[in-house]
Amino acid sequence: MLVKTFRWAFVVTALGLAAGVLYDGWTALGLVAILAVLEISLSFDNAVINAGILKKMNAFWQKIFLTVGIVIAVFGMRLVFPVMIVAISARLSPWNAVHLALTDKNRYQELVTDAHPSIAAFGGMFLLMIFLDFLFEDRDIKWLGWVERPLARLGRVDMLSVCIALVVLLASATTFGAHAHQHGGTHADKTETVLLAGVAGLVTYLVVGGLSGFFEQRIEDEEEREQEAEEQAERAGGSRSPVKLAGRAAFFMFLYLEVLDASFSFDGVIGAFAITNDIVLMALGLGIGAMYVRSLTVYLVRQGTLDDYVYLEHGAHYAIGALSVILLVTIQHEINEIVTGLVGVVLIAWSFWSSVRRNRALQSAS
């Protein structure tokens, strides 16, 4: 099962490392490997969140996630995205941006650094909305009950997460945005830029999340009509299988997954510039890492890991909340990528250990 799920990740690793050696010698191999590890460490929480969504989708859309989705993730976010942000921020054509990235790597890195406030604001607000909606939802299983119970009651207030997100955005724009970090250690007033990018991230979440929720509700109505037939089959000795999202519902959930993956990619792409400013090596290393994250997502779904370790999803969402705050802080202050990666790893490891303790307690009680 493990080899079957990760076989393409292993193939991409071998091809990526070989391409790195052919492109710039053995030093490039080390850089590609480091970038791949960086991407995996920063995106492990992404895999857990993706698995929670992907398990609702049928086998066809799970396959689309691993094929079309990985093309979008690798070529879209890890190669095209760094070029496009330079093209937009520097008002260059995409071709000129690529030319700049290949011929004047230092200038290219400077332009990416100057564009970071808008990237961080967009990604930070999108991820913050995911965290807040999770936090204010009344769930049957609670991990940190002393925090989650009162917040679930507060969640009954309509649009509370949006209001809080807008307050956070306003505070971030007038504090961090007013002294945004730029290349060379200088600072500039990017208040308006941060506000616009943050609102764009918020609107993107509301539109994509709203559409996916709408179609998910439509398919839940169909599930109710099939519920009785499934129960009858179960009583007759047959197996009962849950209805998986398909059609338009699955399409919008897939779209939501891609936007979510894009938001998670921001810190990896920006962090990669601390290691190299060569976009070819960045695409190879981050692409390898993205393939492992995709494979890990499918592995978690097929193994039923989220059902066995019920607090994992909680830990991943808390890691999302931490990452959103870190992204907003990095508008003004530089934060080492090791810190960013460790925060997510620690929270997920803590939630995993809590799940193990819970399972042991339930076994002892039975």
> Residue 349 above 80 pLDDT?
yes
Q: How confident is the model at residue 279 (pLDDT cuts 50, 70, 90)?
A: confident
CA–CA separation, 313 vs 56, rounded Å? 14
> Residue 244 above 70 pLDDT?
no
* Between 114 and 243, the higher pLDDT residue: 114
117-151 residue pLDDT tens? 888 898 889 889 989 988 998 888 889 888 889 99
The two structure tokens encoding residue 45: 């929480």
CA–CA separation, 360 vs 366, rounded Å? 10
The two structure tokens encoding residue 124: 């930070």
Burial 32-60 (b: 16+ CB within 10 A, else e): bbebbebbbbbbbbbbbbbbbbbbbbeee
pTM of the model: 0.74
Q: How confident is the model at residue 97 (pLDDT cuts 50, 70, 90)?
A: confident
Mean pLDDT (whole number) for 295-321: 83
CA–CA separation, 91 vs 97, rounded Å? 9
**Count of C-beta atoms within a 10 Å radius of residue 3:** 7
> Residue 238 above 60 pLDDT?
no
Helix axes 81-89 and 105-135, enclosed angle (nearest 10):
110
34-52 residue pLDDT tens? 888 777 766 777 788 788 7
CA neighbours closer than 13 Å in the CB half-sphere of residue 295: 20
> Residue 234 above 60 pLDDT?
yes
CA–CA separation, 165 vs 129, rounded Å? 7
> Residue 241 above 60 pLDDT?
no
63-95 residue pLDDT tens? 787 778 777 776 777 777 777 777 876 778 888
Per the prediction, the chain carries an average pLDDT of 81
Bridge-partner residues for 181, per DSSP?
187
CA–CA separation, 364 vs 185, rounded Å? 57
SS3 label, residue 187: strand
